[in-house]
Chain A
Amino acid sequence: SAVISQKPSRDICQRGTSLTIQCQVDSQVTMMFWYRQQPGQSLTLIATANQGSEATYESGFVIDKFPISRPNLTFSTLTVSNMSPEDSSIYLCSVEGGSPTEQYFGPGTRLTVT
């Protein structure tokens, strides 16, 4: 299995500011995913980030709001830009393990926007 860490684990931010979330994996992985979990809701895929290519965003998510970097096979960042209270959520990084039958999640970043 892959061990995934995320920084920060939680943050409280003011509206209009931006926050960059880091995701670090202990092994090289091709496929990385970013999810959002709004309070009391399920997980929604924001984008898929494969190394060496532009991130692919899901409907309802745009690069200007959620820019993603994937500089190498063990690291990715997600930025939440120009935040509003509606962005208050848990943001989770996820990776495919050694095969498509394995997918693991980081501990999440709890974001509160005031």
Chain B
Amino acid sequence: AQKITQTQPGMFVQEKEAVTLDCTYDTSDPSYGLFWYKQPSSGEMIFLIYQGSYDQQNATEGRYSLNFQKARKSANLVISASQLGDSAMYFCAMREYDNNNDMRFGAGTRLTVKP
């Protein structure tokens, strides 16, 4: 069963605007971590932000923030002040630390920033 769901195959945002990329997950493991990666056309996987299941506050890293709603099992990525260089695929991923401890990915969202 799919454990990570990204329902937006593609998103568009105007330069300098904020955008939210959705991610929901399913797990019965109380200890897990949620990750977001950016994959530009070059193919490399760039780590953006991490949220642990026990973290009390939402994670932030520069222009990236994670809207973590544990009860709803959602971990949406918010990119503020979008830049043309943000155009890429974005993947949400989860590691279940008490269950295999390996990372599973969502289907991804292709973000296009318009000038």
Contact = CB atoms under 8 A, between A and B. Distances in A.
Given A107-B43, A108-B44, A101 B105 contact: no
Contacts of A110: 43
A23 interface: no
Interface stretch (B20-28, B63-71, B74-82, B94-102): B94-102
A93 B102 CA distance: 13
A104 B104 CA distance: 14
**Overall SS of chain B's interface:** strand
Contacts of A94: 45, 103
Contacts of B108: 42
Interface residues of A, number: 21
Contact of A103 (B35, B52, B107): B35
B96 to A, nearest CB: 10
Contact of A48 (B47, B97, B102): B102
B91 A103 contact: no
Contacts of B35: 103
Given A42-B107, A45-B103, A100-B33, A105 B95 contact: no
Nearest to B95: A100
A104 B103 contact: no
A103 B95 contact: yes
Nearest to A100: B97
A73 interface: no
A90 to B, nearest CB: 6
A33 B91 contact: no
B64 to A, nearest CB: 15
- Which of B45, B97, B104 has the most chain A CB within a 10 Å cutoff? B45
A90 B33 CA distance: 25
Interface string A13-47: 00000000000000000010100000001111100
Contact of B45 (A44, A45, A92): A92
